[in-house]
Amino acid sequence: IPIIMLSLVLLSCAKKDEKTTTDVYTCTGTSSGSGPTIGSVALEEATYLSTCFQSRKLQLEFKNSTEAQYTSYTYGDTSCSGTATDTASMCMNAITVSSTAVTKPTYVNGAQTNDNATGYNATAAWGHDSTETAYLQFSADNASVFWFNQSDTESGRDSNSVWIFKFTKQ
């Protein structure tokens, strides 16, 4: 009887954890009319897809001004051709853009350009692990295109010498 009771307890915990895990990886934010504001540019509640960088593309679907469904696509080659070999999606929330401006060159087709872009540092939390901070940078000239960097440490973000991912509204 004790073994049966323990089995029932473990099964009920597993079902509860499974539901929680699914919920924290999917954004459920309510609309605020726009995505985050980068300087004077308000990004749209829309889906943006990045250029390829080292076999990886990112997608951000802004749900409101502080929440985005974040999806990472990994490809088998450095040009991101064909179908992604791995996909991971999670909810990025509590996006907060600071007033700290950063200017650096852009990175296009595997090379640094002489074109500089100015943007802002930002932070975000993850729905699946609110203790982990995402350290971000955004640079936007208009609501359709923006540059983006990310790191899991503040020093890693600040050491990025170029804008790496260029996002375009889909």
Q: Find residue 118's DSSP bridge partners.
A: 103
Q: What dihedral angle (degrees, nearest 10) is formed by the CA atoms of 34, 97, 152, 103?
A: 110
**pLDDT tens digits along 115-157:** 999 999 999 999 999 899 999 999 999 999 999 999 999 999 9
pLDDT digits (tens, 9 = 90+) for 1-21: 544 443 333 344 444 444 444
Extract the tokens encoding 56: 């990886």
Each residue's pLDDT tens digit, 40-79: 999 999 999 999 999 999 999 999 999 999 999 999 999 9
Question: Can you tell me whether residue 130 is helix, strand or coil?
Answer: strand
CA distance 33 to 45: 7
Q: Are 140 and 118 in contact (CB under 8 A)?
A: no
At 1 the pLDDT is 54
**How far, rounded to the nearest angstrom, does the alpha carbon of residue 4 sit from its chain's CA centroid?**
44
162 φ, ψ (degrees, to nearest 5): -140, 160
d(CA 160, CA 153): 11
DSSP annotation of 53 reads: B
pLDDT tens for residues 82-114? 999 999 999 999 999 999 999 999 998 888 998
The CA distance from 77 to 56, in Å, is 9
pTM: 0.83
